[in-house]
Amino acid sequence: MCAPPTRRSSPTDSPPCSPPRSPRPPTAETFRLPPLTRHPGDPAKERIVTEDLHWLSAVEAVRRLRDGDLKLADYVEALLDRTERLARLNTYITHEPDLVRRSLTDRPGPLYGLPFALKDIVDTADLPTTAATPALRAWRPRRDAPIARALRDAGGTLMGKQALGELSFGMTGNNPAYGIVRNPYGDDHIPGGSSGGTAAGVGAGLVPAAIGADTGGSCRIPAALCGCVGFRPTHGRYDGRGVIPISATRDTLGPLARSVADVRLIDRICAPGTADSEPRTVELAGLRLGVPRGFFYDDLDPDVAAATENALSVLAARGAVLVEQDLPDLERLNELVDLPVVLYEVGRELSAYLYQHAAPLTLRELVDQVAIPRVKETLESVLDKDWVSGAEYREALIVHRPALRAAYARYFAEHDVSALVVPTTPLPARPHRPIGEDRTVELNGRPVDTFLTYIRNTNASSSAGLPCLSIPSGTSRDGLPIGLEIVGPDSSDGRLLAIGEAIEAVLPPLPRPRL
C-alpha cells in the first residue's frame, strides 16, 4: 500500500463546488467597458494592434468587436494560428479549430464573441472534460457547467479546454498521460499549478482570458509564474456546479487574464448583479495596506524579495500607507483547517461528481488509472483509510475555520487596512525536472518541497475563503515573472479588484514573452 499523506504533504489545487447564484444577468445595454486610450490619426499604433491581434486585451477586443473595428473571424484565426505555432507549450488538452470556426456567429451581448478558454475540469457538452487523467479521456458530460453556459450566453467563443495538473493536483505541469505544460517565459520552466495550462495560454497570447480554479492557490500561483493576472473570488461568488472537485469548502473557479480590467470584465459575467454596487476606482493616496512581514516575507528568493520591495516603494511613493503588522498564529490556524478539510472531502466530492453526472466509472476505477504517482498515492490512501475522522472534520469546519476567518477579520479591522500585500510565491518558476525528481525545488541553496513552498503564501487565505488577486510585480534576473498578491476582507471582491487595478497602473508593465 502506498504511503499515506502526512501533515507535511498536501493535495494541490482544484475546482469549485459552490452554491449557485441566480441574480440578474448582465446585458449588452447595461454592460459598461472602462475607458480606452485611443490614438486617432496614428497609423503606426493602429498597425501594431492589427499585426498583434493576439495581444489585444479582453476589454479592447470586446470594444473593437462591438464597434465593428475587428471581425471576430479574423481575431479567432489570429489566435488559432498562434496556438498552432506555439503548440510546444502544450497549453490545451482539447482544442478543435474547425469546431471553433463552426461556432462563430453574430454574437451581440456583453462579450461580442470574445474568445475564452476553460480549465479542463469545467463541464462542456461539446468537448470532453478530462481533468487531465486517463480514465476521463473520453468523458463528455451531458450539459455545460453553469459558468461555461454563462460565458457562452454572454457572447463568448470557447477556444478549448486547458491543461492542468492531473485531477487538479500538482504544481509543475508534468503529466505522463497528457504531456508537459511549458512556461511561455521559458520553455524549460514550470508554469505552476494546478491551472498551469490556463495561465500559460493567457501569458503566451493564445487566448485573452480564461477560467481556472483555485483550492490553495491554483489561479494565483500559475498567474504569478506565467506573467498574468489571477483572481480567486470570495468562496461562493461563482456558481461551482458542473466542475470536477476536490473540496467544496475550498474550491472556487476564478478568471485569469492579462490585466485587472480584463478580470473585472469576466467577473461581471461570472458574478452577475454585483458590479453596480461595487466600487469602480480606488485612489492609492491614503489607502492603507497591510504588510505582514512575518511568515509571508520569510526566506524569499532574492529576486522575489527585490521585486516585492520595489513594488512596496512605488506604492508608498504614490501615497499608499503601508502598515507593517503581522498576522499572528496564522500558520497554526491554517494547519488545523487545511488537510483535515481537503483529505476528508476529496474522495467524497469526486465520488459524488461521478455519480451525479452519470460518469461510466467509479472512484476506485478512476484512481486505478491515475498517471502521476504522487497523486495516485494520495487518492489511494484516502480510499483505503479515513485519515480524517468525522469528528476532526467537523471541528475543522465549526471551530478552526471560523477562528482562521476571525483572525483575518481582526487584522483588517484593528489595523484599518483595506487589503494586505505579500509576494504571491516565495520563488519564481523553476526548471522542469522529471516526475519523481520534481517533488523538490531549490530555494536559497537548499532543496524544499515544491508544492508546500509554492502554496505557502496563498494557502491560508484559501482556507479562509477570502478574495485574492495576483498581479505581475516584476521579473527575475533571468526574465521570469514575479507576482504580488493582494488579499481583501470577506466579500470585498469589487473593492479588491479596484485596488488591484490602481496598483497595477503604477507598477512597470511586464515584458511580453519572447515566443
Catalytic residues: 119, 194, 218
Neighbours of 410 (CB within 10 A): 12
Q: What residue type is assigned to position 126 of the chain?
A: D
Reduced to 3 states (helix: H, G, I; strand: E, B; else coil), residue 279 is: coil
The enclosing H or E element of 323 equals: strand 321-323
Which cell is 250 given?
A: 475550498
- Looking only at the bridges linking them, the beta strands covering 229-232 and 252-257 are antiparallel
The enclosing H or E element of 413 equals: helix 401-414
Helix ranges (H only) for 86-211 are 97-102, 146-153, 196-203
Q: Quick one: DSSP state of residue 55? A: G
| Total number of residues shown for the chain | 515
Q: How far is CA 321 from the centre of its chain?
A: 28
Q: What residue type is assigned to position 8 of the chain?
A: R
Cα four-point dihedral sign 486, 488, 493, 495:
negative
Helix ranges (H only) for 293-389 are 293-296, 302-317, 330-335, 338-356, 363-368, 373-384
Report whether 321 contacts 289 (CB < 8 A).
Answer: yes
Phi, psi of 483 (to 5 degrees): -115, 150
- 323 beta partners: 290
- Residue 41 CB burial class (10 angstroms; 0-12, 13-18, ≥19): exposed
Q: Quick one: DSSP state of residue 139? A: -
